[in-house]
Amino acid sequence: MDLFDRLNKLRERGLAEIAKVKNEQTLNEVRVKLVGRKSELTEILHSMKDVDPDKRRDIGKQVNKVRDLFNHNLDNVKTEIAKELAEKQLEKERIDVTLPGRTTHVGSKHPINIILDDLEKYFIGMGYQVVQGPEIETDHYCFEMMNLPKDHPARDMQETFYIDTEDLLRSQTSGDQARVLETFDFSKGPLKMVGPGKVYRRDDDDATHSHQFMQMEGLVVDKNITMGDLKGILEMMTKHVFGQDRKTRLRPSYFPFTEPSVEMDVSCFNCDGKGCAICKYTGWIEVLGAGMVHPNVLENAGIDSKIYGGFAFGVGLDRFAILKYGIDDIRDFYTNDVRFLEQFSKEER
């Protein structure tokens, strides 16, 4: 067959083959076959040596033309395939901006923290400092410095978890009093502090008892502090938290670190003072202990109790939260059920 004929046929066949190519892999196969070193085009070039020298140039030109044409079309197909691939990829990764967004879950403040934060602000506003003692306290600060020597019978009121003979999970925040008193510089003015934090007592958990709860210690020491100052602060604080209408009362009590000592009750949220199971049919719920700082506590910290005196109180924040929000099971505070916690998401943050 004439080499020109052969070239023409090859061109038609080649172009048809290129047109059928659908993917990268066949594209490479077709490229090797049509313009590779062992292609028919190369073969035709080799066979030119048997052709007339004047025809040779024309055939050479024609071979180059066909090769250029093949390469050109192969490149076009290549661009086409790449474009299709990119489109497919885009389609796959398409973002539907009309879909509703995913909301992140915002937690809510724990009811005890709502009360605590509010009280801290309240006391800071009156010039108190906020201190924080360790939850693992020493027997020395928790008891001895607070006028509770090792053999004192009142220790039985607060059975707790000892870690060793000297360290314990504190049963009260009163140790904070001793820690601050020990280092306080009275030349700078009166001592006014609150110390919030978790405390622990060995107890059988039920609706009104928990082996862990939150307390807030309060201490004011200066010259000429009276029981009237204490009563005033306690009443103001309870009215601030519960509103002007809730009734309060003080009862005489006993604590080794205060003399005289009192306990404060708030009228029951559930029966409004008539008597029910929650207030054990008394109409009242005890919320804090308080009293005038015992001289021994001051002397233990190196303070002259003939010059200085003061008052102290310890608030049960769980009780405050129970009364304020009408919660009937103290264990709800510590079991972290979000359905319980979410009820307070509308409260002040």
In the chain, the largest separation of any two C-alpha atoms, in whole Å, equals 134
User: Is 160 an interacting residue with respect to ligand PHE (CB under 6 A)?
Assistant: no
Nearer to ligand PHE, 14 or 289 (CB): 289
Binding status of residue 248 toward ligand PHE by CB under 6 A = no
What are phi and psi for residue 195, nearest 5 degrees? -135, 95
Based on CB atoms, which residue is closest to ligand PHE, 278 or 297? 297
Nearer to ligand PHE, 67 or 319 (CB): 319
Instruction: State whether residue 208 is helix, strand or coil.
Output: coil
- List the beta bridge partners of residue 289: 263, 314
Cα 12 to the chain's mean position, in Å?
A: 72
**41 or 193, CB closer to ligand PHE?**
193
Both tokens assigned to 230? 């204490």
314 binds ligand PHE (CB under 6 A): yes
Nearer to ligand PHE, 134 or 275 (CB): 134
Task: List the one residue from 168, 178, 194, 290 that touches ligand PHE (CB under 6 A).
Answer: 290
User: Can residue 313 be called a binding residue for ligand PHE (CB under 6 A)?
Assistant: yes
Helical (H) or strand (E) element with 258 = strand 258-267
Among candidates 85, 73, 56, which has minimal Cα distance to 16? 73
Min dist CB 172 to ligand PHE, Å, is 4
Task: Establish if 70 lies at the interface with ligand PHE (CB under 6 A).
Answer: no
Residue 312 found at the interface with ligand PHE (CB under 6 A): yes
Give the footprint of ligand PHE on residues 250-269 (CB under 6 A): 255, 258
| Separation of alpha carbons 183 and 301, rounded Å | 8
With CB atoms as reference, the residue minimizing the distance to ligand PHE is 314
From 117-125, 286-294, 300-308, 338-346, span contacting ligand PHE (CB under 6 A): 286-294
C-alpha span between 339 and 327 (Å, rounded): 13
CA 44 and chain centroid, separation = 78
Q: Give the interface segment with ligand PHE, choosing from 19-27, 225-233, 308-316, 334-342 (CB under 6 A).
A: 308-316
Which tokens sit at 220? Answer: 């004011």
Nearest CA to 216 out of 316, 289, 142 is that of: 316
Q: Which residues lie near ligand PHE (CB under 6 A)?
A: 172, 174, 255, 258, 289-291, 312-314
